[in-house]
Structure 1
Amino acid sequence: MELNGKVAVVTGGTRGVGAGIARALAEAGAEVVVGARRPPEVPVPKTEFVPLDVRDAESLRRFFAELPRLDVLVNNAGGAPYRPLAEAEAERHVKVVELNLLAPLTVSLAAYDHLRRAEGSIVMIGSVSGSRPSPGTAAYGAAKAGLEHLARSMAVEWAPEVRVNTVVVGMVRTELSHLHYGGPDGIAAVARTVPAGRLAEPSDVGAAAVFLASDAAAYISGASLLVHGGGERPAFLDAATADNRRHGDKES
């Protein structure tokens, strides 16, 4: 799964999952450009940072026009704060959809000519929030569901020159995990709900992105790769197990 000689752009690649992806691509041999609104506090080795606003179509077109070539695009920029639907105006939820769905479309269109010439690859960074209820981040979940559908349609429209796939990411341990799950005890408790017994590391997502961008995935397009440690244990199983145990105790 080598990317030697390839040029890759990672949006939002300055921290967390994005930094993990940028690091993995660089370690696989790619020349990596990281685009974000603010420079990284801790630069990722062997990558170049450029200021980039994924919601500004004109600046995106200028940026890609100035690139000599492009082989891999990773649409990673995104995210959302916890915000119950009824506690914010519609305009704020619309901004979440713009960042997580419309911006990847805008970036991909700006990069299309380069990718077509290079017979390149797009990797969308999706989320398990797009396939299950996401109370508190409903607009984000809806956008991520749309992103997967966009990727599948794009894979058909842009074939055979450009492959398009989605990495569907579960819970990841990053420098901001405490904001979502609490301190070490909270993170450990959440990790126990994952069949794999831990949260993902950014490097896990990075390895999946490298695979989909590499020649090892040359016949894979329009696919969604689940990187979620086995998903989430259904709550009813624990309830059923507890009930069965009580039954067993009575019978014995």
Structure 2
Amino acid sequence: MELDGRVAVVTGGTRGVGAGIARAFLAAGAEVVVCARRPPDSPVVSDGRAARYVPVDLRAPAAVKDFFAGVARRHGRLDVLVNNAGGAPYRLLRDGGPARHARVLELNLVAPLTASLAAHGLLRAARGCVVMVGSVSASRPSPGTAVYGAAKAGLESLARSMAVEWAPEVRVNTIVPGMVRTELSHLHYGDEQGIAAVGRTVPLGRLAEPDEIGDAAVFLASGRAAYISGASLLVHGGGERPAFLGAATVNGAAAGGSAGAPAGATTRTTDDKEG
């Protein structure tokens, strides 16, 4: 298969988007290691093969360094690092003090940098790649998750600079997902009716599936993307319909949606990841 013989680490790969990414790498033939603070409720498997779980707190640099040393001892190489771990609870800026907001930055921006630095030597030896998992929250207002959006914007900027500094040995790219249906979607969007209604705000008419984000990650890690570095790949189903289309009383169909269509202003939180 496409990634036979390759070794991939997926941070936060025990559930949600991370588990979908891990399954996609397994299906592509890679050996997959997932890490998170808590173990998965059930093994992450695909095509009869399972990802290996290792506990680690990505906010502890010494533990992260030890984790990658363990990957080197067991597998002898590292070809792909997917920095997926992250998330943020819904919290308005005025309701969280500086320390709480700093923890969001630490998990979503500092931790991917810590992991990337710890993995750099292995990735350079394998001429491998880093895939950051960003968010559409990086490029549009995210009330209730403002610091998360700021962290993800910083992550994209970090990835672009890393792509220049670490070339040509290591490629670095960012996947930018929109809303994704996971086992925790009901916490963000409500019951099945609510999830379907939110999905209708997306041009493609539904939320993404975790494995679809995984397919994009596999592409960026594969030889088919050998000349792609410093890029941000949007995987958001066409994005969000502009709010004015829902408010306009003329030309609704011509503008790409009916006048009564939802405006797509739902805020995506990311508790479907695991740090």
Q: Where does 1:40-119 land on structure 2 (aligned, <5 Å)?
A: 40-45=40-45, 46-66=50-70, 67=72, 68-119=76-127
Which residue of 2 is the match for residue 11 of structure 1? 11
Does the C-alpha gap of structure 1 residues 244 and 218 become closer, same or farther in structure 2, counting only changes over 3 Å? closer
1:21 positional shift:
0.1
One-letter amino acid of the counterpart of residue 53, structure 1: D
Aligned with 1:186: secondary structure? helix
Question: In structure 2, what is the Cα distance between the partners aligned to 1:23 and 1:226?
Answer: 20
Task: Among all aligned residue pairs of Structure 1 and Structure 2, give the percentage whose two residues are the same amino acid.
Answer: 73
Question: In structure 1, what is the Cα distance between the partners aligned to 2:134 and 2:244?
Answer: 26
Which residue of 2 is the match for residue 248 of structure 1? none
1:239 positional shift:
1.4
Root-mean-square deviation (CA), in Å? 1.0
Q: Name the structure, 1 or 2, with higher relative contact order (CA <8 Å, separation 6+).
A: 2
Q: Where does 1:1-252 land on structure 2 (aligned, <5 Å)?
A: 2-45=2-45, 46-66=50-70, 67=72, 68-240=76-248, 242-244=249-251
Q: TM-score, normalization: structure 2?
A: 0.87
Larger Rg: 1 or 2? 1
From the two aligned structures, give the one with the greater helix fraction.
Answer: 1
Aligned with 1:92: secondary structure? helix
Which whole-Å deviations, capped at 9, do the CAs of 1:178-203 have from their partners, x for residues lacking one? Answer: 11111111111110100000000001
For structure 2, which runs of at least 5 residues remain unmatched after alignment? 253-275
Q: Which runs of 4+ in 1 moved over 3 A?
A: none
Q: TM-score, normalization: structure 1?
A: 0.95
1:238 positional shift:
1.9
1:116 positional shift:
0.4
1:225 positional shift:
0.3
Which residue of 1 is the match for residue 267 of structure 2? none
1:18 positional shift:
0.2
